[in-house]
Amino acid sequence: MPELHELERFSATLRQLPLPPTLENPQRLERFKMALLSGVESLYRDRKKPFLGELQRRLKSSELWSNNELRAGAAVCALDASRYFLVPPFAGEPPCVLLRKPPPGFDEWYGNMPTGCMMASLEEEETRSKRISCLKRVFSKRSK
């Protein structure tokens, strides 16, 4: 499992990605968020680890979402840090969208998480994200 700072960096990077213009519509964005949650929950029910590609395939089958919207799924999940925990590609596995509050019986998916990452509050994550963003700006200015 990646270190906690790597997990935080992954989520922070995703949160900074621009959303497609179609998701600028608040109603469409809200429907997409609900579809993402429904897709993740259905993968849990089927006892399939919610890898990002599998989640995108589930949503694509409904034919309601464009490819650009489907590609933005991870970014939209990253914006909802109180609900989702995003795991970057690691040890040959693709990115994964885990629920912060999983249903009982899924301990094996969370067993190797770095200490404290499941306990972090949304406020703590937002603060860390701002720090990381600020550091990126400082380092990018220095490298110019």
pLDDT in tens, 111-139: 655 544 444 444 444 555 555 554 445 44
Assess contact for 95 and 89: CB atoms under 8 A: yes
Residues in contact with 4: Cβ distance below 8 Å, sequence separation at least 6, in sequence order: 114, 115, 116, 117
Q: What is the pLDDT of residues 19-62, one digit of tens each?
A: 999 999 999 999 999 999 999 999 999 999 999 999 999 999 98
* Domain extent listing, the chain: 4-139
Q: How far apart are CA 102 and CA 84, in angstroms?
A: 10
Cα torsion through 30, 36, 38, 39, rounded to 10:
160
Show the DSSP H helices in 4-121 as ranges: 4-15, 26-45, 52-60, 67-71, 73-79, 107-110
Average pLDDT over residues 80-96: 88
Q: Residue 127 has what pLDDT? A: 53
Q: Would you say 86 and 95 are in contact if contact means Cβ atoms under 8 Å apart?
A: yes
Which pLDDT does position 44 carry in this prediction? Answer: 93
The model's pTM is 0.74
